[in-house]
């Protein structure tokens, strides 16, 4: 005898897959690490080729130099975000139920956070090896313990408090809510992901400004 009950998923489908779960974190982490590497190595090359000293000798301030790098890297980042989203949603057919604008905006903010972190790394070190180690070490820490691939709910209880402090943890949850549930900015805690990545970006950017101001030419 069959029970006359039909089960329907409130969000998504009755057979969720790992690809749909991981794609928000993958997109955010790729955009973030590209911003880190491009910015850090651009500043490093400019410093090693002595063009930084020549630029400063012409009267350009260090803050203006940082601003120029941010604008250029952000323009490149915008193109990469568009290409990544086209590949994810048009080529591979990933699920997106919510606002495409909010998804793009969150990816743009993650890219800006990566650019800010890249500026910090470039101000701290002059070695390409150290920059590569810092960038990749941060990337794997964020991916493996930030809830991007492995759910925070399934982590060890000692790791859960640390996972919440990573820059992409809350933004990944927000992007999942937007893409899979169709939530808006003020539905649930979607706005928390935006506030988290904006806060991290401003903190890292301020830190890079302080470092480059007190750095020797």
User: Which tens digits make up the pLDDT trace of 165-207?
Assistant: 888 888 988 998 898 888 888 887 889 999 999 999 999 989 9
Q: Each residue of 92-105: b (16+ CB within 10 Å) or e?
A: eebbbebbeebbee
Contact partners, residue 171, CB within 8 Å, separation at least 6: 28, 106, 109, 110, 193, 194, 196, 197
pLDDT for 15 equals 67
pTM: predicted TM-score of the whole model, two decimal places: 0.85
**CA–CA dist 88, 97 (Å, integer):** 14
DSSP 216: -
pLDDT over 90 at 109, yes or no = yes
Report pLDDT digits (tens) over 61-108: 777 877 887 888 888 888 888 888 888 888 888 878 888 899 999 999
Structure tokens at 100: 């495409």
Q: Where are the domains of the chain?
A: 22-215
> Who has greater pLDDT, 102 or 154?
102
- Residue 20 has a pLDDT of 79
With a cut of 60, say whether residue 114 has pLDDT above it. Answer: yes
Residue-wise over 42-51: b if at least 16 C-beta within 10 A, else e?
bbbebbeeee
pLDDT tens profile 11-49 = 656 666 777 788 888 899 889 998 898 888 888 887 777
């Amino acid at each position: 005898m069959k029970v006359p009950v039909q089960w329907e998923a409130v969000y998504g489908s009755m057979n969720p897959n790992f690809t749909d779960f991981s794609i928000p974190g993958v997109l955010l982490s790729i955009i973030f690490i590209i911003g880190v590497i491009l910015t850090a190595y651009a500043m490093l090359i400019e410093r090693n080729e002595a063009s930084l000293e020549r630029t400063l000798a012409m009267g350009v301030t260090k803050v203006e130099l940082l601003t120029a790098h941010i604008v250029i890297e952000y323009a490149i980042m915008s193109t990469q975000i568009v290409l990544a989203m086209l590949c994810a949603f048009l080529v591979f057919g990933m699920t997106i139920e919510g606002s495409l604008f909010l998804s793009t905006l969150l990816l743009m903010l993650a890219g800006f956070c990566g650019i800010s972190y890249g500026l910090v790394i470039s101000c701290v070190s002059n070695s390409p090896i150290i920059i590569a180690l810092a960038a990749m070490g941060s990337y794997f820490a964020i991916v493996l313990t930030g809830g991007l691939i492995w759910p925070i709910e399934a982590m060890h209880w000692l790791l859960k408090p640390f996972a919440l402090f990573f820059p992409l943890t809350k933004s990944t949850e927000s992007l999942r809510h937007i893409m899979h549930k169709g939530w808006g900015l003020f539905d649930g805690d979607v706005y928390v992901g935006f506030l988290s990545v904006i806060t991290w970006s401003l903190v890292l950017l301020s830190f890079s400004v302080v470092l480059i101001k007190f750095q020797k030419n």
